[in-house]
C-alpha cells in the first residue's frame, strides 16, 4: 500500500472498500481513518483549544477591549427592566431619579430611552471563536460541533485499535486512559 494518496479513487478504496473485518485489517483501517480524520480536524482542534482557553478567562478582562455603546431602548424603564433590556447579569443601578438611571459604566435617559455605556468585549475574531465553542442546537454551528464531538469520540475508540491487546503498550494505554478518566471525574466532582 502506498503511503501517499494519488487520486480520489485511491482515497475511497483506502477509507471504505477494505471491508475484510479480520482484526488485522480492522486495525489497519482504524489507523487509516484515525490518520486522515486527524489531519482534517487539526485546524478545528486548534480553534477549539484557543477558544477554550479564552473562555476560561471570560470572567476577567483578559484580551478584552473597551467599547462605547449607544442604544435606544423602550422609554420609561425602571432599574430592573433596564438590567433585563441590557442583558447584564447582576445589574445594579448606582442612582435613579425621575430623568435618568446611572449604573456602572453608563447611564439611561428615561424620557428618550437612550442608553449610553461602556462595555468590554473580545476582539471580533476571538469573539466569534468563543461563540463557536458555545453554539446552541438552533444554530448552524451545532452540526459542526456535533461532528467534532463525534470525531473526538472516534479518536478515543480508534486509539485502542492501534496496538494488539496483548502488547505492553496497549496495557499501559489502558492504565493511562483510566487514570485520565479518574482525574477528570475527580476534578469535576471535587
The domain limits of the chain are 65-121
Nearest to 179 by CA among 153, 31, 187, 163: 187
Mean pLDDT of all residues belonging to the chain: 86
CA–CA separation, 38 and 152 (whole Å): 9
User: How confident is the model at residue 20, as a pLDDT?
Assistant: 44
pLDDT tens per residue across span 36-72: 888 999 988 998 899 889 999 988 999 999 999 999 9
- The upper half-sphere exposure of residue 47, i.e. CA atoms within 13 Å in the direction of its Cβ, equals 18
| Mean pLDDT to the nearest integer, 163-172 | 88
The 3-class secondary structure across the chain, one letter per residue, is: CCCCCCCHHHHHHHHHCCCCCCHHHHHHHHHHHHHHHHHHHHHHHHHHHHHHHHHHCCCCCCCCEEEEEEEECCCCCCHHHHHHHHCCCCCCEEEECCCEEEECCEEEECCCCEEEEEEEECCHHHHHHHHHHCCCCCCCHHHHHHHHHHHHHHHHHHHCCCCCCCCHHHHHHHHHHHHHHHHHHHHHHC
Statement: residue 165 has pLDDT above 90: no
pLDDT of the residue at 75: 92
What is the Cα gyration radius of the chain?
Answer: 26
Task: Measure the CA–CA gap between 116 and 167, rounded to whole angstroms.
Answer: 66
Share of the chain above pLDDT 90, in %: 47
pLDDT of residue 2: 46
pTM value?
Answer: 0.65
CA distance 165 to 178: 16
Q: How confident is the model at residue 17 (pLDDT cuts 50, 70, 90)?
A: low
pLDDT 10s digits, 63-98: 999 999 999 999 999 888 998 999 888 889 999 998
Amino acid at each position: 500500500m502506498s503511503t501517499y494518496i494519488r487520486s480520489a479513487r485511491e482515497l475511497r478504496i483506502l477509507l471504505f472498500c477494505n471491508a475484510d473485518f479480520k482484526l488485522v485489517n480492522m486495525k489497519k483501517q482504524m489507523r487509516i481513518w484515525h490518520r486522515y480524520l486527524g489531519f482534517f480536524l487539526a485546524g478545528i482542534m486548534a480553534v477549539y483549544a484557543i477558544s477554550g482557553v479564552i473562555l476560561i478567562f471570560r470572567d476577567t478582562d483578559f484580551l478584552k477591549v473597551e467599547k462605547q455603546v449607544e442604544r435606544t431602548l423602550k422609554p420609561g424603564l425602571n432599574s430592573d427592566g433596564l438590567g433585563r433590556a441590557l442583558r447584564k447579569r447582576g445589574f445594579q443601578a448606582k442612582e435613579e431619579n425621575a430623568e435618568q438611571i446611572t449604573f456602572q459604566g453608563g447611564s439611561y435617559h428615561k424620557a428618550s430611552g437612550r442608553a449610553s455605556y461602556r462595555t468590554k468585549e473580545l476582539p471580533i475574531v476571538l469573539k466569534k471563536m468563543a461563540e463557536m465553542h458555545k453554539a446552541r442546537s438552533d444554530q448552524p454551528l451545532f452540526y459542526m460541533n456535533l461532528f467534532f464531538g463525534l470525531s473526538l469520540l472516534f479518536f478515543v475508540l480508534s486509539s485502542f485499535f492501534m496496538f494488539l491487546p496483548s502488547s505492553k503498550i496497549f496495557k499501559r494505554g489502558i492504565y493511562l486512559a483510566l487514570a485520565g478518566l479518574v482525574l477528570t471525574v475527580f476534578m469535576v466532582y471535587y
